[in-house]
């Protein structure tokens, strides 16, 4: 089992680790990973490993069997041996932009309160697919509401609940096709806002900014018809 350092501190950029194994496909499993693995529409992290005057660029990160996290090298160069102590360095600029986009998409699911059928995140924009019959009537108003939530600079943090608690509160689950992420005995919730009435509270395993003000200005992009009851809405970072 790989310890998910990205979940303990999404702002940590460098961390030591030990190589546990190599995969048959040429990936590397560490005992603790700073790198977020692809999942929930968010791409895996990239960066590098350093050890004994050697350096290995990491192209992406994937989920392996069980709770393993697999780092995928970007070049066919020698890998650190099993047991080696390495230093992980995250491509922070890329990760931080995806944190901003991911949190912005949570806000999009607030201003468009429909079931979510899919989503995708990149370093400059994201998109959500909504189970809704038609496009929003007032795009400018939706964009203004999004940027109001950003300007409010609300705190973003996490809670944990049991599977039984989640079953008793089905309204927390906005995704219609993806099961909520689970830990060993608990499910992680991402909360935007304070108190008993947060702006948003939903299961999510991804990385997020600490406050909505960190997202920056947002701009709505294309709205596509993806079926009789499905609309794809794009959301862009302005900078």
Q: Quick one: CA dihedral 223, 225, 231, 234, positive or negative?
A: negative
CATH class of 3-90: mainly beta
Task: Looking at the chain, list the stretches that DSSP marks H as alpha helix, in order from N- to C-terminal side.
Answer: 5-8, 92-111, 139-151, 163-168
Q: What confidence score (pLDDT) does residue 228 get?
A: 80
Beta bridge partners of 202: 190
- pLDDT tens digits, one per residue of 100-116: 999 999 999 999 999 99
Contact in structure between 223 and 233 (CB atoms under 8 Å): yes
Beta bridge partners of 203: 189
- pLDDT tens digits, one per residue of 45-80: 999 999 999 999 999 999 999 889 999 999 888 999
For the entire predicted model, the pTM comes to 0.93
Please give the Cα distance from 69 to 44 (Å, whole number): 10
Beta bridge partners of 69: 63
| Topology of the domain comprising 95-237 | 3.30.980
200 class by beta-carbon count within 10 Å (0-12 exposed, 13-18 middle, 19+ buried):
buried
- pLDDT tens digits, one per residue of 215-229: 999 999 999 998 888
Describe the crossing of helices 92-111 and 139-151 by its angle, rounded to 10 degrees. Answer: 120
Has residue 183 got a pLDDT over 80?
A: no
Has residue 35 got a pLDDT over 60?
A: yes
Closest listed residue to residue 109, CA positions, set 97, 134, 126: 126
**Residue spans per domain, the chain:** 3-90, 95-237
Has residue 176 got a pLDDT over 90?
A: no
Q: Quick one: CA dihedral 92, 95, 100, 103, positive or negative?
A: negative
Is the model more confident about 220 or about 171?
220
Residue length, the chain? 239
Contact in structure between 95 and 37 (CB atoms under 8 Å): no
Residue 173 pLDDT class (50, 70, 90 cuts): confident
Please give the Cα distance from 23 to 2 (Å, whole number): 14
Query: How many CB atoms are located within 10 Å of the residue 132 CB?
Result: 16
């Amino acid at each position: 089992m790989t310890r998910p350092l990205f979940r303990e501190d999404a702002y940590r950029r460098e961390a030591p680790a030990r190589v546990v194994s190599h995969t048959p496909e040429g990936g590397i499993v560490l005992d603790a990973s700073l790198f977020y693995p692809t999942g929930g529409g968010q791409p895996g992290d990239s960066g590098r490993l350093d050890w004994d005057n050697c350096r290995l660029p990491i192209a992406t990160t994937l989920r392996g069997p069980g709770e393993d996290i697999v780092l995928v090298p970007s070049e066919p160069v020698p890998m650190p041996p099993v047991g080696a102590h390495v230093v992980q360095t995250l491509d922070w600029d890329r990760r931080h932009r995806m944190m901003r986009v991911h949190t912005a998409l949570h806000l999009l699911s607030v201003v468009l309160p429909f079931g979510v059928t899919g989503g995708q995140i990149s370093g400059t924009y994201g998109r959500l697919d909504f189970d809704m019959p038609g496009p929003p009537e007032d795009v400018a108003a939706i964009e203004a509401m999004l940027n109001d939530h950003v300007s409010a600079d609300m705190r973003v943090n996490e809670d944990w609940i049991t599977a039984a608690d989640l079953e008793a509160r089905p309204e927390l689950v906005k995704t219609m096709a993806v099961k909520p992420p689970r830990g060993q005995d608990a499910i992680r919730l991402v909360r935007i806002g304070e108190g008993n009435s947060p702006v948003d509270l939903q299961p999510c395993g991804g990385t997020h900014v600490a406050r909505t003000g960190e997202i920056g200005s947002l701009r709505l992009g294309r709205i596509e018809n993806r079926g009789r009851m499905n609309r794809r809405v794009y959301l862009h970072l302005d900078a």
